[in-house]
């Protein structure tokens, strides 16, 4: 759950321009599509070193988000909105996405 309406992105190791996007780039895409009231994007790629999906340079991210765009939608529909914002980066630049949605908004 997201407790405060903050807007944070954290980037562990720097992402390459040709490989995975930075946490800031992921956050910008999501902000542009969903105008979240709260957003945190964490690049967890370093936790998956040696994993098959990481070997090609694609990233692993955790997204914590609250958005008015989610009001009245099922959890599955909310996740689809986040995936849609990043669709053209999957699976080549983003391998895995863990989404935590603040359910207090709708």
Percent of residues, the chain, with pLDDT higher than 70: 72
User: What confidence tens digit (pLDDT) does each residue in 50-60 have?
Assistant: 666 555 667 88
Extract the tokens encoding 48.
């998956």
Report how far residue 52's alpha carbon sits from residue 91's, in angstroms, rounded to the nearest whole number.
12
Give mean pLDDT, residues 86-98: 91
Binned at pLDDT 50, 70 and 90, residue 97 comes out as very high
> According to CATH, what is the number of the domain 7-12+19-101?
3.30.300.90
24: nearest Cα among 42, 1, 6: 42
User: 79, 19 in Cβ contact below 8 A?
Assistant: no
pTM reported for the whole predicted model: 0.76
Extract the tokens encoding 73.
């939608």
Q: What is the pLDDT of residue 62?
A: 97
User: What confidence tens digit (pLDDT) does each residue in 23-44 have?
Assistant: 999 999 999 999 999 999 999 9
Tell whether omega for the bond before 91 is within 30 degrees of 0, i.e. cis: yes
């Amino acid at each position: 759950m997201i407790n405060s309406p903050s807007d944070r992105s954290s980037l562990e190791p720097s992402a390459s321009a040709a490989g995975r996007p930075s946490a800031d780039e992921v956050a910008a895409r999501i902000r542009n599509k969903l105008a979240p009231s709260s957003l945190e994007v964490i690049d967890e790629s370093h936790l998956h070193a040696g994993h098959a999906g990481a070997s090609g340079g694609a990233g692993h991210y955790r997204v914590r988000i609250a958005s008015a765009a989610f009001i009245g939608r099922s959890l599955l529909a909310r996740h689809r909105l986040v995936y849609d914002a990043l669709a053209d980066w999957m699976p080549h630049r983003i391998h895995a996405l863990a989404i935590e949605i603040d359910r207090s908004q709708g």
